[in-house]
Amino acid sequence: MDKTINIAVLGGDARYLEMIKNLSKSSITEIQLVGFDQLNQGFTGVKQVNLDDLKLETLDAIILPIPGTNNEGVIETVFSNRKIQLTEGWFKQLSTNCLVFSGITNSYLSNCVNEAGLKLFPLMNRNDVAIYNSIPTVEGTIMIAIQNTDFTIHSAKVVVLGLGRVGLSTASKFSALGAKVSVGSKKKEDFARSKEMGLEAFHIDKLSSYSFDCDILINTVPALVVTDESIKPMKSHALIIDLASNPGGVDFAYAKKRGIKALHSLGLPGIVAPKTAGEILGIVIEQILNEEFQGRSI
Amino acid sequence: MDKTINIAVLGGDARYLEMIKNLSKSSITEIQLVGFDQLNQGFTGVKQVNLDDLKLETLDAIILPIPGTNNEGVIETVFSNRKIQLTEGWFKQLSTNCLVFSGITNSYLSNCVNEAGLKLFPLMNRNDVAIYNSIPTVEGTIMIAIQNTDFTIHSAKVVVLGLGRVGLSTASKFSALGAKVSVGSKKKEDFARSKEMGLEAFHIDKLSSYSFDCDILINTVPALVVTDESIKPMKSHALIIDLASNPGGVDFAYAKKRGIKALHSLGLPGIVAPKTAGEILGIVIEQILNEEFQGRSI
């Protein structure tokens, strides 16, 4: 059964262009764009419409920007000056089968979706998306490390804190470039994985014993782990890169006081590789649509 | 026998600071600097002098800037406004045992050194220096690739032309970052090495058959190999990075006409990792001094 899948993309940034391109390749998707009126480029078979033009009850999926909505339901529209606000009433006009995609969610969005009996997919919470995104995140981190040091990554002593989805990719690629990587973690499984990767591992509580002679310290743990105590013994040429979500895991005030350069680097995929970041979203949304609309292969 | 080795460093850029630091660590070197009068930092046991203060006949080695001299004997002094000119007569006042170091040479410098019966070491011509320098060169190339594309190196189709000292490191590191690397060369041994590295290899004459769908083309061959014919079929998003010495190996005019971004990226070690580049020079000069002054270990 080859029913068309009607998708509305509401707002978004440069990453969404590649995602739209990917999704529009399928012959059974019909895509309408809202909030792209200042976009110079067109997509074959994709229509630009106003919010009011959407026939909400016919939509199979809506794709909101990565940040979802703000607390008043306003969405980010990089390619439009028009304000787009989605009310609880608006969500209730959607069919209950309509899937709602966003990057992250907040209480406003979650509440609207719940009240309307809809299914929300906050893509950035998914393991697969986080792992795919770790690729451009690591390349951004490599770029930052090269730009902000006067030595090579090769032979540098690099400490990576956390061996989760981003930490694993970071440790792996810095090691591949010839850095001497040590991994700080609390988890026994991370010690095992580090060993398997040929990397030294240590308990994060002992960070000071590793930070004192490291050249680059990369944190991926979203909790205050890079404390004044671990920053204090660091060499003045050392660089700290914090990849953990806000508020990060580094005592930035102390690092500044101590004269150690510390950068909180967020949103790297959208900065260094918007095309790849968009492709990732396109691929994952396509997979979810396939699963949710089984039999209607897109 | 522990005779002091008297070294004069004449001019140079940021890389030389690390080299001077490295060389000054030895207890039996005595180092004098000419052309560093605007330098804010000092080195323990290293003296700043004027050119006329040098007792030329007592010097065991002089270290000229990377570019050597120009055609009138003038040397590059990044840390001084004073003009320093080295004449044929000046070189003749040196002891014939005095070693002369530079990065590269030209007919003026080679002639002065020959006429004075001295031994010249143009460091950049050495295989070991070129291989060490290939490390920061590749990291600079990675940085440029990340900065100038909207996709990741990971999964990108990368063509590397030439598998010499720089080409080998480039192919190896881009592959380690997850790029799909193909190597273009004319040499049978390069085909064998590519195969050993798990990379596809092709004869450089067939470049057009590989350039048409590549995302990043990196040239290391110092001859016009990236011709209009091989640029013509390239995708508009593709990036060309030319690492070959002047005049490079890319038809830049045609690339511009065709709308393909092509960058001639020279001197990357000094740009992205002056400290490492200086260390490399320090290590190699120390090795040569050790060999040339056997018994006088420094």
Do A243 and A200 belong together in one domain?
A: yes
Measured CA distances, A183 to A221, A228, A239 (Å): 12, 19, 16
> Are B221 and B133 contacting, i.e. CB atoms less than 8 angstroms apart?
no
Do B53 and B77 belong together in one domain?
A: yes
* Beta-carbon contacts below 8 Å between A and B: 78
The total number of structural domains in chain A stands at 2
Q: What is the DSSP letter of B182?
A: E
Question: In a mutagenesis test of the A interface, which of B16, B133, B139, B181 is the best target, namely the one with the most A β-carbons within 10 Å?
Answer: B139
pLDDT at B252 over 80: yes
Q: Does A21 touch chain B (CB under 8 A)?
A: no
Cα–Cα distance, A108 to A127 (Å, whole number)? 24
Mean pLDDT, range A48-57, rounded to an integer: 95
Residue B83 lies in a domain: yes
Residue B298 lies in a domain: no
Cα–Cα distance, B130 to B164 (Å, whole number)? 10
H or E element: which one contains A134? helix A127-147
Chain B residues lying within 8 Å of A152, measured CB to CB: 135-136, 139, 272-273, 276
Q: Do A275 and B151 touch (CB under 8 A)?
A: yes
> Would you tell me how many other CB atoms lie within 10 Å of the CB of residue A256?
12
> Are B66 and B77 contacting, i.e. CB atoms less than 8 angstroms apart?
no
**pLDDT digits over A181-193, tens only?**
999 999 999 999 9
Cα–Cα distance, A162 to A165 (Å, whole number)? 9
Residue A297 lies in a domain: no
Do A79 and A197 belong together in one domain?
A: no
Residue B118 lies in a domain: yes
Q: Which residue of B has its CA nearest to A137?
A: B152
Do B119 and B152 belong together in one domain?
A: no
Q: Please give, rounded to a whole number of angstroms, the shortest distance from the CA of A31 to a CA of chain B.
A: 24
Cα–Cα distance, A214 to B108 (Å, whole number)? 45
Do A121 and A133 belong together in one domain?
A: no
Do A91 and A107 belong together in one domain?
A: yes
Cα–Cα distance, B100 to B120 (Å, whole number)? 5
Mean pLDDT, range A107-123, rounded to an integer: 97
pLDDT for the residue B2: 55
Chain A residues lying within 8 Å of B14, measured CB to CB: 150
Q: Does A139 touch chain B (CB under 8 A)?
A: yes
Mean pLDDT, range B93-109, rounded to an integer: 96
Tokens encoding B13: 């850029």
Q: In which band, very low, low, confident or very high, does the pLDDT at A1 lie, cut at 50, 70 and 90? A: very low
Q: Does B146 touch chain A (CB under 8 A)?
A: yes
Residue B97 lies in a domain: yes
pLDDT for the residue B246: 85
Mean pLDDT, range B251-258, rounded to an integer: 98
Q: Do A273 and B135 touch (CB under 8 A)?
A: no
Q: Which of A160-169, A284-293, B145-154, B235-244 has the lowest mean pLDDT?
A: A284-293
pLDDT at A28 over 90: no
Do B24 and B119 belong together in one domain?
A: yes
Residue B167 lies in a domain: yes
Q: Does B131 touch chain A (CB under 8 A)?
A: no
> Are B220 and B181 contacting, i.e. CB atoms less than 8 angstroms apart?
no
Tokens encoding A199: 């990397």
Residue B139 lies in a domain: yes
Mean pLDDT of chain A: 94
Q: Does A292 touch chain B (CB under 8 A)?
A: no
Chain B contacts in chain A segment 149-178 (CB below 8 A):
149-155, 173, 176-178
Q: In which band, very low, low, confident or very high, does the pLDDT at B294 lie, cut at 50, 70 and 90? A: confident
What residues make up the domain containing A18? 5-125+274-292
Stated pTM of the model:
0.89
ipTM: 0.88
- Give the nearest partner residue to A142 out of B136, B142, B273, using CB atoms: B142
Do A121 and A141 belong together in one domain?
A: no
pLDDT for the residue B298: 56
Phi, then psi, of A31 in degrees rounded to 5: -115, 130
Q: Does A135 touch chain B (CB under 8 A)?
A: yes
Do A82 and A136 belong together in one domain?
A: no
Q: In which band, very low, low, confident or very high, does the pLDDT at B1 lie, cut at 50, 70 and 90? A: very low
Q: Do A139 and B149 touch (CB under 8 A)?
A: no
Q: Residues near B27 by Cβ (< 8 Å), separated by ≥ 6? A: none
Do A157 and A249 belong together in one domain?
A: yes
Residue A298 lies in a domain: no
Do B133 and B115 belong together in one domain?
A: no
Which CATH number covers residue A231?
Answer: 3.40.50.720
Do B205 and B285 belong together in one domain?
A: no
pLDDT for the residue B43: 85
Q: Residues near B291 by Cβ (< 8 Å), separated by ≥ 6? A: none
